[in-house]
Amino acid sequence: LMARRPIVGGNWKCNPESMAKLDGLVENMNACDASKCDIYVCPSPLHVACVCSKVKAGINVCPQNCNFKGCGAYTGEVAVEQMKDLKIEWVLIGHSERREYFQESNDLLAEKMKLILDSGMKCVYAIGEKLPEREKGLESTMAVCIEQLEKVKGLLDPAKVVIAYEPVWAIGTGVTATAAQAQETHAEIRKWIAKNVSEECAAGIRIQYGGSANAKNAPELSACPDIDGFLVGGASLKPEFKDIVDAIS
Ligand code: PEP
């Protein structure tokens, strides 16, 4: 059985506010040791092309979203062909902010994932429950995760898809899931994939944790057997990002 290579992503969201500040953020990425894990950065769409030209080898640029169709009459969108032309290999979809503020449904996201994979690109797919579901317990937490996985389960190829488990209540709040909570949920997700896709897929697919990950909590979280790295928001805007990469065990 092949070990799962850890993967750490930095999601800059709609930051920084100026080109002047972009170089400093790129430096944070280029300071990372990319020898023991995969690393990607998700710049805002306006900055993607510039960041592509500035990141070192081993740092992958991964746009935060893509169009559900190819090029053409889709005002405001970015197509996967345009990304491929920039040698981009990864796309993030399903971030909770896309689901919440832009009404992206599981159906739409399944369509996007199919398009990404059909185009030969790889996909980070974010899922996760909100606070009321977490408060009701693991079963209702898993019900949300399963609903978000159901329509993409036929597409879950470990070589092409990474799942980012990001409890919404932990995103940008400073409240991190405990290592026990995160590990339990990751293990349940893997169990569901084993049952509903295949044992092989479950064993191979990487599941990142996201939600207020930082240099302090990363060592304990990354030591959990079913946590294969992080998707980092706030801390990816700081030099601390490289310490999260270094914490990968
Ligand atoms: C995210 O945006 O995916 C995220 C996990 O943000 P933060 O690390 O700030 O909680």
What is the distance in A from the centroid of ligand 1 to the CA of 73? Answer: 32
Does the C-beta of 226 come closer than 6 Å to ligand 1?
Answer: no
Protein residue with its CA nearest to atom 6 in ligand 1 = 233
Helix, strand, coil shares of the chain, percent, nearest 5, are 45, 15, 40
Query: Checking DSSP bridges between strand 206-210 and strand 229-232, what pairing results, if any?
Result: parallel
Protein residue with its CA nearest to atom 8 in ligand 1 = 233
| Catalytic site includes residue 95 | yes
- Looking at the chain, the whole-number percentage of residues with pLDDT higher than 90 is 97
* C-alpha to C-alpha distance for 149 and 161, rounded to whole angstroms: 12
Enter the pTM of the model. Answer: 0.97
Domains defined along the chain, listed by start: 7-247 (3.20.20.70)
Per-residue pLDDT tens for 41-91? 999 999 999 999 999 999 999 999 999 999 999 999 999 999 999 999 999
| Catalytic site includes residue 186 | no
Does the C-beta of 238 come closer than 6 Å to ligand 1?
Answer: no
Average pLDDT over residues 111-140: 97
Helix (H) or strand (E) holding 40: strand 38-42
* C-alpha to C-alpha distance for 163 and 153, rounded to whole angstroms: 11
